């Protein structure tokens, strides 16, 4: 185990049963993420990116190998994880504020906090909403919010219990480019303010470079880590810097790594 790692995926393989056959989904994955680091997972569809997030959160067990978080093996769904997906899935009958508070109402270990300090929890939710540009939207229902606003509320809901890990599985893929870029800035600000460890699955290489400290490129079937690239760009990052020589160099290197993963996907599909 890497002594500096917070999330440690070591020699992990996963086998599924499909049509009465054993299928190797991911093969000998090695991923390490330091505490407070922002990691992006990129690669072609079907290479096991989302499987990796389920392994880290404890929603899936490895067939072989070990997943550890903060030095402890992950053997069941772990506490201290916030998750946001492509579809916000806000409850249509709840206001924005009450949607954000939902984890505190339904998760037993957080319910006691809500009962003991409801005013403090309301302040937390209001502060989070304001930090992503939703001040004044607390009383609106999901159908009164744009797609980008719904995703902002979804991020706040994922962070209301102050998780140590935030997992993002293509949360901006369905949004237009202008909305998506605005959310990049919101996520970066939340990460810098809250100090959580982040793990994001994305197909957008610009998104990966804007947000991540380290990018893992996956490819193949079974899925494997093809390459690991550190992102050496100053923070806070801004969009008009993406045409700087340093950023363009990293973008080209990342595209080349993903291109190397594509032939493996084609060969494994034959």
**Residue pLDDT, tens place only, 141-183:** 999 999 999 999 999 999 999 999 999 999 888 889 889 999 9
Which pLDDT score, from 0 to 100, does residue 268 have? Answer: 43
The string of pLDDT tens digits covering residues 4-18 is: 689 999 999 999 887
Q: What is the pLDDT of residue 257?
A: 85
pLDDT of residue 267: 42
Q: Where are the alpha helices (DSSP H) in 88-176?
A: 96-106, 108-116, 118-131, 147-159
Alpha carbon distance 99, 140 (integer Å) = 10
Domains of the chain, first to last: 1-80+197-270 (3.40.50.300)
List pLDDT tens digits, range 183-192. 999 999 999 9
The predicted pLDDT at position 270 comes to 34
Over the chain, what is the mean pLDDT? 90
pTM: 0.90
> How many angstroms separate the Cα of 221 from the Cα of each of 89, 118, 261?
30, 48, 10
Average of per-residue pLDDT across 198-214: 95
**Neighbour tally for 23: CB within 10 Å:** 12
pLDDT value of position 126? 97
How far is Cα 48 from Cα 94, in angstroms, rounded to an integer? 34
Residue-wise pLDDT tens digits, 91-132: 999 999 999 999 999 888 888 888 889 999 999 999 999 999
Instruction: State how far the Cα of 208 lies from the Cα of 248, in Å rounded to an integer.
Output: 13
User: In the predicted model, what is the mean pLDDT of residues 195-220?
Assistant: 94
């Amino acid at each position: 185990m890497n002594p500096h790692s917070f999330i440690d995926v070591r020699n992990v393989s996963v086998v599924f049963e499909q049509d009465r056959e054993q299928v190797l989904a991911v093969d000998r994955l090695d991923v390490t993420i330091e505490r407070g680091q922002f990691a992006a997972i990129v690669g072609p569809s079907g290479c096991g990116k989302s499987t990796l997030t389920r392994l880290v959160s404890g929603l899936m067990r490895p067939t072989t190998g070990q997943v550890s978080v903060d030095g402890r093996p992950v053997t069941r769904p772990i506490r201290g994880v916030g998750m946001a997906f492509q579809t916000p899935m806000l409850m249509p009958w709840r206001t924005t504020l009450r949607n954000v508070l939902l984890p505190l109402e339904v998760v037993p270990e957080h319910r006691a906090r809500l009962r003991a300090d409801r005013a403090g929890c309301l302040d937390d939710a209001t502060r989070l909403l304001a930090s992503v540009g939703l001040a004044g939207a607390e009383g609106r229902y999901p159908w009164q919010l744009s797609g980008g606003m719904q995703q902002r509320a979804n991020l706040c809901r994922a962070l209301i219990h102050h998780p140590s890990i935030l997992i993002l599985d293509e949360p901006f893929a369905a949004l237009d480019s202008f909305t998506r870029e605005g959310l990049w800035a919101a996520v970066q600000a939340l990460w810098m303010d809250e100090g959580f460890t982040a793990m994001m699955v994305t197909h957008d290489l610009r998104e990966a470079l804007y947000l991540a400290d380290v990018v893992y490129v996956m490819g193949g079937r079974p899925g494997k880590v093809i390459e690991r690239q550190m992102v050496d760009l100053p923070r806070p990052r801004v969009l008009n810097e993406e045409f700087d020589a340093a950023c363009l160099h990293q973008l080209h290197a990342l595209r080349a790594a993903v291109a190397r993963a594509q032939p493996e996907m084609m060969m494994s599909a034959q």
